[in-house]
Chain A
Amino acid sequence: MDNLNNLLLLDPVLEQYKEVPGSLITVLQKTQDIFGYLPESAIAYISEKMNVPTSKIYGVATFYTQFRFNPVGRYFIQLCQGTACHVNGSQLIEKAIKDELGISDGETSDDGLFTLKNVACLGCCSLSPVMTINGETFGSLTPSKVRGILNELKSSAESEAE
């Protein structure tokens, strides 16, 4: 990641927002869109180009749950922990994911395939409990349904690897 060519991808973003007051969050969002997370080198680069101390950037980035400092796995699971999902059993879903993949909130599985992130309300409360995997929504989950979905993804990844 630390190569300069990649950081140059940021130049158009920085060019657009450098002079716009209050645009730091937008710049970080665009950075994450590009790299999938906020690499340390990108933060240093933004700091230099925008003339904002890295401490301020980290202060902002760590405040908001959207920002990540590590790459995510191939399958990015967002598990809803909103009220409706809680009432309809999201803890059991979380436990099933943990049992199946050995990861908790914010972690990535050892094989680099799965990252789990708890979120508050995906806005599909009527289908609760809900999770999304790479943006696709899976609703009305049960522990066994989740195990089925995860196993299918695992085996499709395995068969690709072969």
Chain B
Amino acid sequence: MMKIKVGQGSCGISAGAAKVYEALKTACPESLATVSVTGCIGMCFLEPIVDIYTESGLVRLVKVSESDTEDIINFIKTGDINFVSRLVIKDEDKQFLEKQTRIALRNCGNIDPESIDDYISAGGYSALQKAVSEMTPDDIIEQLKVSGLAGRGGAGFPTWFKWNAAKSETGEEKYLICNADEGDPGAFMDRAVIEGDPHNLIEGMLIGAYTIGAKEAIVYVRAEYPLAIKRLTKAIEDAKSKGIIGNNIFGTEFCCDFRIKAGAGAFVCGEETALIESLEGSRGMPRIKPPFPAASGYWKKPSNINNVETFANVPWIIENGGEKFFSLGTQNSKGTKVFALTGKIKKGGLVEVPMGKSLREVIFDIGGGMRSDKAFKGVQLGGPSGGCIPAEFIDTVIDYKELSKTGAIMGSGGMVIMDESTCMVSMARFFLDFTAKESCGKCTACRIGTKRLLEILDRICKGEGKEGDIELLSDLCERIKENALCGLGQTAPNPVLTTIKYFRNEYEAHIKNRCCPAGECIDLIHYSIDPEKCTGCSLCSKKCPVSAITGKVRESFSINRDLCIKCGRCMDACRFGAVRKGSGDCE
């Protein structure tokens, strides 16, 4: 029988996938095909996606809407592809997946995340069974060591080392914690794993719990991910009823309980010690390290914390052996990494590639380059803690060391693409606005330092920059890096430092010429009407909320800059492309 699967991650649902699913479910007779849900396959730019598994293989339909239901049913009934050929994925878009290597995301978009049986038939939980019945904790640590797996939460610390440290601690009570706070705004790798393959996370965590000797596993999920919480909750219940979570797992001595804690919205809670404070019901203020969580973590007990993607790799490594993982990647960085490709990119979505691929391969070969005809300007890696890599370094390979050399970091996987229309000063201001708001306030360097950085950047973006501001920024950045207590403050200056390093001319244009070369900073741009193109239709002047546009009908109109509030309605309204946005001469 044919199977229809509708991709329903948060992104698919926002693009209308839930409606498509309901429509197909209602219209499709059960005798013809089953209609089920699957997670996000990562091709967000093509959502909603409907996969039809026919006898002769997979037919993938993209950008489907409810109104296509009838044609899809007709196709299923008759097998005549002409009913749906307009929806079939194009060959060039197929490459988006074909050029990837999927380990952490291996089941996402293929299995039904709400069905434990689906996961088990895809080979799920066999790694856990193997681990608890055939391997000792030391065997597992050895495999992880061989694999070279490093933490995917940002810092890239070897996973085996942390597990070994927690395992070596004596004491009955230990905790295994998953960091699903995914604080980098603009990144959604962890969300996709939990929404698309929650059992994979549970399996990885149970293997971890067995290894370190924890009897309780906790997932700290960000509050903004209701669907992830829902699917994970269901997965935990199903695993409990199958005896995979609970006592004597797979008939062994190993017992482990499992629960979810929903975060409440605080970026700093992604930092592991702040996360522990939050788990304990307090304000999420980071603790001073050492002691590290391995020695004294949740309720001062030995605890191990890993990122979602880190855990998602574990069952595969146990199943296939560490060496196979090790064989992917570069000298310093092993395995694959998932990236969330967003911004001005043509094909935005989730990309999992082996370490060692270049940024160019990810952004251009897989992502299809820029969405508009504007030139690629740079890519922000690592979110607010990371940095911006300019176009000239597009051939840098994905590797912890190589990326750090540019001043950016691998980060957790956010990759925000910027083109010529993105102002780098405004970008730095944006990140500092974020970190200043999210600073927990415990240490002065971060609390006050980020605020001062923001004020200076604000001034520059408003055209009130002063001679010496760049030096002042750089100096302040160095001091914050040196003195901040936790990773949030220590890395907050990175976006400023990298944009100064690579786009100093943009800072200078703002400061010296009161001009924004990208035409983004609203205080430095102005609207004008091109008299050549204006037909005098008067539509813009009717739309202007402050009556700043005057002129003669059928002749030409002009904008009074003193009155203009730069709302852009005239530009939206003009049908002749006569309204221009500009920032004068920046040279």
Contact = CB atoms under 8 A, between A and B. Distances in A.
Judge: A and B partners, yes or no. yes
B251 to A, nearest CB: 31
Interface stretch (A41-49, A116-124, A153-161): A116-124
Interface stretch (B7-15, B319-327, B550-558): B7-15
B224 A21 contact: no
B389 to A, nearest CB: 14
A87 B187 CA distance: 13
Interface residues of A, number: 44
A127 B185 contact: no
Contacts of A25: 261, 264, 278, 281
Contacts of A144: 569, 572
A27 to B, nearest CB: 9
B29 interface: no
Contacts of A63: 266, 283-284, 440
Given A84-B342, A120-B185, A125-B186, A21 B281 contact: yes
Contacts of A92: 568
Interface in A60-85: 60, 63-67, 81-85
B316 interface: no
Interface stretch (B302-310, B414-422, B497-505): B414-422
A104 interface: no
A83 B572 contact: no
Given A25-B278, A60-B281, A92-B568, A123 B188 contact: yes
Most B C-beta atoms less than 10 A away, residue of A29, A125, A143: A125
Interface string A75-105: 0000001111111100110011001000000
Nearest to A99: B567
Contacts of A21: 280-281, 299
Nearest to A83: B186
B265 to A, nearest CB: 4
Given A66-B265, A82-B185, A126 B349 contact: yes
B14 A137 contact: yes
A82 to B, nearest CB: 3
Given A66-B265, A87-B416, A139-B14, A125 B568 contact: no
Contacts of B183: 120
Contact of B383 (A29, A83, A88, A128): A83
A26 interface: yes
A12 interface: no
B225 A123 contact: yes
Contacts of B284: 63-64
A22 B186 contact: no
Contact of A125 (B188, B278, B279): B188
A64 B10 CA distance: 23
A155 B280 CA distance: 46
Contacts of A95: 522, 567
B191 interface: yes
A81 B344 CA distance: 16
A54 interface: no
Contacts of B343: 83-84, 87-88, 128
B380 to A, nearest CB: 7
Contact of B418 (A82, A87, A91, A130): A87
Contact of A126 (B45, B184, B434): B45
Contacts of B569: 143-144
A15 B418 CA distance: 51
Interface string A6-34: 00000000000000011111101100000
B545 interface: yes
A29 B226 CA distance: 13
Most B C-beta atoms less than 10 A away, residue of A28, A29, A65, A82: A82
A88 B342 CA distance: 10
Given A83-B185, A87-B418, A142-B572, A120 B267 contact: yes
Nearest to B14: A137
For the complex of A and B, 9 pairs with smallest distance between CB atoms? A126-B44, A83-B186, A82-B185, A137-B14, A64-B264, A84-B342, A65-B265, A121-B185, A24-B281
9 contacts: A25-B281, A85-B186, A87-B417, A87-B418, A125-B187, A126-B44, A127-B15, A130-B14, A139-B15
Given A125-B348, A126-B44, A143-B572, 5 more contacts: A86-B427, A120-B185, A121-B186, A123-B188, A125-B188
